Amino acid sequence: MPRQILSLLALAALPLGGCTALGGPDILGSVLGGSTGAYGAGAYGRGGPDFRTMAVDTCGAEASRYGRVGITQVQQVSRSTLRVYGTIDSNYRRHSFACSFREDGRITDFDVN
């Protein structure tokens, strides 16, 4: 009896995964509360921890062009945008920076003070 239940669950999951993989409606994301976004099912969608990590990594890499980087804060600006704040140490000077990172993986604004 338990094998039949597992088989039914596996068959029921196929259509849900197929819709998301083929670019159809985000059924799996809405059921699980995530987003399929630009990086796959639930990976970086709408303020999740992976979205924040990607924002910190991408903005930190951009800031590292100017010196050693320290991230001080990450704020959610909108449903699909995070703002990363930090410092850059270079040539005995410290600068601050702010970086806007979108859900699609792009930096839309980068300011160094």
Instruction: Give the pLDDT confidence of 20-53 residue by residue, as tens digits.
Output: 333 334 333 333 333 333 333 334 445 567 999 9
Nearest CA-CA partner of 103 in 60, 33, 51, 61: 51
**For 64-99, what is each residue's pLDDT tens digit?**
999 999 999 999 999 999 999 999 999 889 999 999
As beta bridge partners, residue 70 has: 87
The pTM (predicted TM-score) of the whole model is 0.58
May I ask the CATH architecture of the domain 43-112? Roll (3.10)
Q: What is the mean pLDDT of residues 8-18?
A: 44
- Domain regions of the chain by residue span: 1-33, 43-112
How many other C-beta atoms can be found within 10 angstroms of the C-beta atom of residue 48? 16
Alpha helices (H) along the chain: 2-21, 27-32, 49-63
